[in-house]
């Protein structure tokens, strides 16, 4: 009993939430239920740690998480806690690409968060370790290649047999694809935020390093419980702005402009596109990583991973931000070596002088739009063309595949926003077909939908207000002139404001068919410039 007392005294166990299940004679039924799962009496005097696992056999980036969960559990046991695992859903954006299924990944964000709350709160867990593939894991770089191969097949540059061979050898195994899509972006930014241990973000899925970090995470979460170190103490506004800073340096996914504000909203922190715009102009693009650069993400891991990037931009970070190690960002980076090579450029000699993302405002997007400017060729930084309007991704794909898009066209895809989609589908298939057909220097794309992190070219997304909310994108007509000027941060509909106003007075919204789940989502979701978060009806 002495060991039990030491654990109880050191952790002030009587104050732990799980004590509500085990302390007192009136909790006999609760204890009986726990005993039935194999726990012993001594286990009831230890903290209860949730392992939130998103393992699924359907998604490559989640396929290996069952084994990692076992490593986490081992660490929890060794630290004096009791691990208990449960599962969440996980949707593969890559498999969802190009069809109605893409309506569901973004709405799943809040659904997953709610499901975790529904498990953590009633079961009175003291702490948790979460095992996502990342934010919403998806092997999209390979899918980018596949859809570019489709375009090459359509134009005769590749045979059907060559394309089929590529399909069968494209994915060597499980894990997230080695590029800065949304999956790896959010995995890296979790580390920058201080919510995962140093080195975790880019450790290979099947590596021994990943398993060691998993075990260390299980051990560390019990120590954090003892220390009273909670996510609210770590994920401050400074930490979130650090994440934006690193995302700009890395050339991260445009979806970070949705997910970081959503995290901030949960914590009651004010974070908006203004922060992204400000830091985009201050932080240079440093990382020569696909899809905007030439190296796979595994090369970045080889030269030091996320800590090496943070070390390079350390002068631009808030070093006092606390992390899950119990140390500050500055303390974590104290012994990290500076790396300057073809993978990580220096602040003095950046790959590009501005950040990987740019926030645009103009008559076509009064509340904002986002582009991955690091992936846009210089010849397309300023582009003026005639609009060709579509109200769905499928129609746009058919037009591109059918050779109906001529040079000088600005493809406008609307009613694909958070409310109008519903679900803010990725328009990645359209951009991939454009690149595959060699049209990425001939035309541009503007949409109130979003893009995969692997999107390249002049693809302007997140246009706000969206069409379903009566934004100007709703009244664009075929043939209207549109100017995209990335250096000036503007997407403009080049018609008189009086004409825009006249069309808006005559506008009637288009309502697409919906399932009950998506109908509820549409009714509650905010605009993309606000992070596409779900608001209570009274908000």
Catalytic machinery residues: 452
Total residue count of the chain as it appears in this document: 539
- Residue 176 gets which letter from DSSP? -
Residue 213 sits at φ, ψ, to 5 deg, of -65, -35
- What is the bridge-based pairing of β-strands 127-131 and 444-447? unpaired
- Tell me the three state secondary structure of residue 421: coil
Quick one: 231 exposed, middle or buried, by C-beta within 10 A (0-12, 13-18, 19+)? middle
Dig out the tokens for 520 from the structure: 């509820």
Cα–Cα distance for residue pair 316/403, rounded to 1 Å: 46
First to last CA, the chain: 52
Please report which residue ranges of 419-515 form alpha helices under DSSP H: 428-436, 497-506
> Distance between CA atoms of 487 and 493, rounded to whole angstroms?
17
Q: 10 Å Cβ neighbour count for 353?
A: 9
Beta bridge mates, 490: 485
| Nearest of 436, 348, 527 to residue 153 by alpha carbon | 436
The order of strands in the sheet holding 48-53 is: 82-87, 48-53, 127-131
Q: Which two tokens stand for residue 229?
A: 């170190």
3-state secondary structure of 519: helix
Neighbours of 312 (CB within 10 A): 24
Tell me the CA distances in angstroms from 154 to 148, 159, 163, 434, 456, one per residue in order. Answer: 10, 9, 11, 12, 20
> Cα angle vertex 290, ends 286, 296, to 5°?
100
Rounded distance, CA 200 to CA 191, Å? Answer: 7
- Three-state DSSP state, 210: helix
How far apart CA 534 and CA 539 sit, in angstroms, is: 10
The interaxial angle of helices 2-11 and 208-227, nearest 10 deg, is 70
Sheet strands (E) in 117-178: 127-131
């Amino acid at each position: 009993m002495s060991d039990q007392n030491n654990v109880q005294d050191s952790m002030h166990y009587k104050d732990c939430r799980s004590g509500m299940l085990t302390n007192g004679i009136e909790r006999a039924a609760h204890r009986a239920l726990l005993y039935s799962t194999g726990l012993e009496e001594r286990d009831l005097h230890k903290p209860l740690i949730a392992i939130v696992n998103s393992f699924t056999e359907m998604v490559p980036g989640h396929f290996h998480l069952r084994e990692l969960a076992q490593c986490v559990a081992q660490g929890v046991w060794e630290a004096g806690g009791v691990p208990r695992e449960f599962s969440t859903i996980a949707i593969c954006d890559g498999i969802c690409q190009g069809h109605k299924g893409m309506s569901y990944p973004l709405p799943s964000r809040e659904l997953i968060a709610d499901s975790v709350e529904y498990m953590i709160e009633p079961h009175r867990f003291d702490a948790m370790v979460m095992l996502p593939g990342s934010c919403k894991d998806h092997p999209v770089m390979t899918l980018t290649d596949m859809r570019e191969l489709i375009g090459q097949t359509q134009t005769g540059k590749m045979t059907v047999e060559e394309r089929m061979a590529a399909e069968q050898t494209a994915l060597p195994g499980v894990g997230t694809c080695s590029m800065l899509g949304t999956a790896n972006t959010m995995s890296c930014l979790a580390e920058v935020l201080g919510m995962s241990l140093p080195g975790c973000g880019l450790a290979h899925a099947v590596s021994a390093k990943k398993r060691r970090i998993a075990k260390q995470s299980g051990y560390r979460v019990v120590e954090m419980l003892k220390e009273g170190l909670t996510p609210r103490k770590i994920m401050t506004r400074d930490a979130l702005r650090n994440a934006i800073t690193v995302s700009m340096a890395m050339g991260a996914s445009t979806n970070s402009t949705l997910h970081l504000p959503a995290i901030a909203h949960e914590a009651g922190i004010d974070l908006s596109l203004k922060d992204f715009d400000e830091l985009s102009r201050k932080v240079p693009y440093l990382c020569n990583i696909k899809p905007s650069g030439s190296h796979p993400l595994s090369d970045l891991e080889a030269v030091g991973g996320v800590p090496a990037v943070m070390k390079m931009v350390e002068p631009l970070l808030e070093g006092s931000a606390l992390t899950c190690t119990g140390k500050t960002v500055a303390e974590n980076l104290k012994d990290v070596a500076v790396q300057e090579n073809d993978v990580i450029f220096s602040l003095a000699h950046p790959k590009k002088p501005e950040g990987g993302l740019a926030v645009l405002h103009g008559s076509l997007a009064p509340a904002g739009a986002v582009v991955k400017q690091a992936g846009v060729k210089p010849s397309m930084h300023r582009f003026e063309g005639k609009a060709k309007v579509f109200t769905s991704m499928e129609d746009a794909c058919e037009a591109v595949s059918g050779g109906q898009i001529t040079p000088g066209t600005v493809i406008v895809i609307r009613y694909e926003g958070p409310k109008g989609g519903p679900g803010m589908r990725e328009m990645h298939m359209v951009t991939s077909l454009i690149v595959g057909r060699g049209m990425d220097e001939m035309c541009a794309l503007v949409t109130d939908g979003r893009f995969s992190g692997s999107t390249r070219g002049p693809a302007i997304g997140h246009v706000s207000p969206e069409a379903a909310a009566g934004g100007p994108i709703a009244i664009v007509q075929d043939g209207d002139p549109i100017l995209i000027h990335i250096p000036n941060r503007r997407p403009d509909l080049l018609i008189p404001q009086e004409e825009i106003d006249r069309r808006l007075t005559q506008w009637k919204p288009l309502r697409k068919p919906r399932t009950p789940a998506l109908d509820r989502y549409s009714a509650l979701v905010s605009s993309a410039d606000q992070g596409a978060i779900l608001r209570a009806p009274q908000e």
